[in-house]
Amino acid sequence: MAQAEVCKRDQFENTDYVVCSIDPASSDLRLFWRKDTGAPFRSFATLARSLEAEGKKLSFAFNAGMYDTDFTPVGLYIENGKQLRPVNSTIMERPAREIPNFFKQPNGIFFFGPTKAGVLTTEEYIKRKPDPLFATQSGPMLVIRGKLHPALIPGSTDRNRRSGVGVCEDGHVHFAISETRVNFHDFARLFRDHLNCPDALFLDGGRGTGIYSPALERSDVSWHGGYGPMIGLVE
């Protein structure tokens, strides 16, 4: 699949986005975190060079979930069938406004294998035990079985650049990043009402968002000093 066909500029309700869409059954989608040395990749450019050294090409990449200051994924992380980080089932008993995004319940897990992908709440994922080739945990969920996360507020003034992933009923996966600041409610509706994804997961916001797309001349840099987990399409 040519990269130019994968990522495109889009607009929904006067907000600009970049949306990258793939069919997991015909795409080499992978998660990346650490080099062979054990050090985190931290940047899209470093990951792209690593793949080029293997004779491969990075067609596009996104940030793939939240991470600690040492770039370690906060929650579940599975790469090539190996679980490198466990499910994070922490429940925070605080006022909603004080709970970090990852821990706003329900949070969820994006997972995929050679032929299909899915987004489930963390609770549902634990029940089903899908045993995927790749998985990353983040939060909050944006859309759950066609309904918006109940905590998302229409007209909220909490606006930021945001990135997320949704899976449609036909199995196609859509990654989206906002070009300007948007609230959670409107971002969730992008997936449900515009991209037709009944399940979608927030990946990160603000300085933790980023996209790599040679066709769009993008290789974003995280001002956190780098990214933790990254998801990329390999050719």
What phi, psi does 51 have (nearest 5°)?
Answer: -70, -35
Alpha-carbon separation of residue 174 from 87, 103, 191, 233 (angstroms): 23, 23, 8, 12
Task: For residues 59 and 8, give the distance between their C-alpha atoms in angstroms, rounded to a whole number.
Answer: 13
The answer to whether position 109 is within a domain reads yes
| Number of domains the chain contains | 1
Give percent helix, percent strand, percent coil of the chain, each to the nearest 5: 20, 35, 45
Asked whether residue 25 is domain-assigned, the answer is yes
For residue 127, the SS3 value is: helix
Q: What is the pTM of this model?
A: 0.95
Residue 68 reports pLDDT greater than 60: yes
pLDDT of residue 4: 39
Residue 2, pLDDT above cutoff 80: no
Q: What would the mean pLDDT of 3-19 be, rounded to a whole number?
A: 87
What is the residue-averaged pLDDT of the chain?
95
pLDDT above 70: residue 17: yes
Report d(CA 52, CA 55) in Å as an integer.
Answer: 5
Confidence of residue 97 (pLDDT cuts 50, 70, 90): confident
Residue at 74 is within a domain:
yes
Range of lowest pLDDT (36-45, 87-96, 114-123):
87-96
8 Å CB contact between 85 and 138: no
pLDDT for 5 equals 62
> What are 125-146's pLDDT values in tens digits?
999 999 999 999 999 999 999 9
For the record, the structure tokens of 53 come out as 């050294």
pLDDT for 44: 98
Residue 189's pLDDT is what?
98
Q: Give the tokens for residue 70.
A: 């040492």
Q: What is the C-alpha to C-alpha distance for residues 137 and 74, in angstroms, rounded to an integer?
A: 8
Q: How confident is the model at residue 224 (pLDDT cuts 50, 70, 90)?
A: confident
Distance CA 166, CA 89 (A): 22
Residue 2 lies in a domain: no
Domain of 187? 8-87+101-234
CB distance 112 to 74 below 8 Å: no
| Rounded-to-integer distance, Cα 174 and Cα 203, Å | 12
Q: How far apart are the first and last CA of the chain?
A: 8
User: Does some domain include residue 192?
Assistant: yes
CA distance 103 to 210: 21
| The token pair that represents 225 in the structure block | 């000093």
Structural domain contains residue 96: no
